[in-house]
Amino acid sequence: MISERPLRIAIVGSGPAGMYAAGHLLEGPGGTFINGGLNQIVRRPVEVDVLERLPTPWGLIRSGVAPDHPDKKRMAAIYDSIARRQGFRFIGNVQVGRDVSPADLSQWYDGVIYAVGADDERRLGITGEDLRGSDSARAFVSWYNGHPDFSDLQFDLRCERAVLVGNGNVAMDVARILFSPISALHNTDIASHALDALGKSQLKEIVILGRRGPEHAAFNYPELMELGELADTAISVEGADLSLTPENADYETQLKVAALAKLCKEKSQGSRRIVFRFNAAPTAIVGGGQVAQINVVDRRDQSEQVLNAGLVLAAIGYRGLAIDGLPFDDVRGVIPSCDSRIVDNGIAIAGAYVTGWIKRGPKGIIGSNKKCARDAVTAVMVDVDSNLLPMEGTLSAAQVLEAINARVSVTLGFSGWQKIDRQEQSDGRAQGRPRLKMTATGAMLGLVTAG
């Protein structure tokens, strides 16, 4: 049985969570959602608009995954196939909360799924955090990946020591990129401005601070082992005895600590050094306008040390940003929800859903978003079947695009992104690289609108 009226859903954000949600909604033939009941299968036609504030889709696949991890970037092929399904439409260069409001979307669509990710970071909360040379690892990652919001940043790498505060996988990525050979990075899609800056780097040492012991380190085993592949790089540990790992630690923890101990033994020599410093916390960043030092306290005996450093990057976690017109949990940095339905003071907002990091916080791998998106789509369909969505008076696909274009001077569809994609790959081939990323929104929109 096929329901006649197309269900029209907006998805805000085109990263993994948003694209998986679109895929679940359009998983049936001919752009339909398949709902299996006890006695029959109902195929419901669905139209999905994915709204993205940038001209480019795929979220962290493009702007967060390290450029030397092309295997993870290949996930974009899955999202590309979803975007080609009947019923899918990409609308780029539209920011919800600035160009259109959540109230607008609620009036225009039968339901809205917010998949906006985590576009903010947690701060250290110490003196000197705002000095030049002090920034977030998130900003640094976005900078070397060519995100338009960060491409104008300047990172002076002509210093001998960088300090990373936090020892999760983002810190591992940053340390690896900082010490990777330029020849190797040239074979990736790293932004050209980052490649130039890294080519002038004078870094000799990277200190990675962790507030607790190695048994609590946040990095995963594969990311740690990649540091061991860096040539001419010594690895050492300070502030902890790796032989004292608690016997009741789980297998993964024991594996990581043992691997770190092995790396310290096998990688004891090199002209450059990565130092894992545990039980250490920063107390202040010092400098006359520019980072010169960072004060660190040993949390075991409260002794203090001053480290000379020209770059300090905080890698202590991402967090979501509030959207004007939607409730927000400022403590957790997420949009509050219950069973994927957005709630305001405990009451569900009809037709409003959430998925991905903005729902559950910045945790999990890319694939974790698939089930999370499925949960959101299931909630949508349960509410459709229960007649809980305000479906009267919503707009057609043409009417929505007309309303958006009345507010945004230039929008682009999926064909516009494909034009950018082709240009980047063509420019990359000319330089012997897989892709030469465009990093300015104006240039991307200019390319799309050119005859």
> What local confidence, expressed as pLDDT, does residue 170 receive?
96
- Six-digit token string for 272: 């450059």
How does pLDDT run across 26-72, given as a tens digit for each residue? 987 666 666 654 444 566 799 999 999 999 999 999 999 999 999 99
* Spatial strand order in the sheet of 161-165: 134-136, 311-314, 161-165, 205-209, 272-277, 233-238
Mean pLDDT of the chain: 94
- What mean pLDDT is predicted for residues 4-11? 90
- What mean pLDDT is predicted for residues 197-222? 96
- Six-digit token string for 110: 């039968």
Nearest-CA neighbor of 380 among 24, 40, 12?
24
- Six-digit token string for 201: 């780097």
Question: Dihedral (C-alpha) 410, 414, 418, 419: value to the nearest 10 degrees?
Answer: -30
CB 441 within 8 A of CB 148: yes
Nearest-CA neighbor of 21 among 338, 355, 342?
355
- What mean pLDDT is predicted for residues 271-287? 98
Q: 293-298 and 280-286: which strand pairing?
A: antiparallel
- Six-digit token string for 188: 């990736």
> What local confidence, expressed as pLDDT, does residue 39 receive?
45
Distance CA 322, CA 118 (A): 10
Nearest-CA neighbor of 9 among 82, 79, 86, 88?
88
Determine which helix (DSSP H) or strand (DSSP E) holds 312, and give its type and residue range.
strand 311-314
Is it the case that residue 13 has pLDDT exceeding 50? yes
Phi, psi of 352 (to 5 degrees): -120, 125
> What local confidence, expressed as pLDDT, does residue 41 receive?
53
> What local confidence, expressed as pLDDT, does residue 66 receive?
96
CB 239 within 8 A of CB 196: no
Q: Which domains does the chain have, with CATH numbers?
A: 7-119+319-411 (3.40.50.720), 123-316 (3.50.50.60)
Determine which helix (DSSP H) or strand (DSSP E) holds 305, and give its type and residue range.
strand 304-308
C-alpha count within 13 angstroms, C-beta hemisphere, residue 333: 18
At 340, the amino acid letter reads S
* pLDDT band (50, 70, 90) for residue 233: very high
> What local confidence, expressed as pLDDT, does residue 393 receive?
87
Residue 205's alpha-carbon distances to 173, 234, 316, in angstroms, are 15, 9, 20
CB 99 within 8 A of CB 114: no
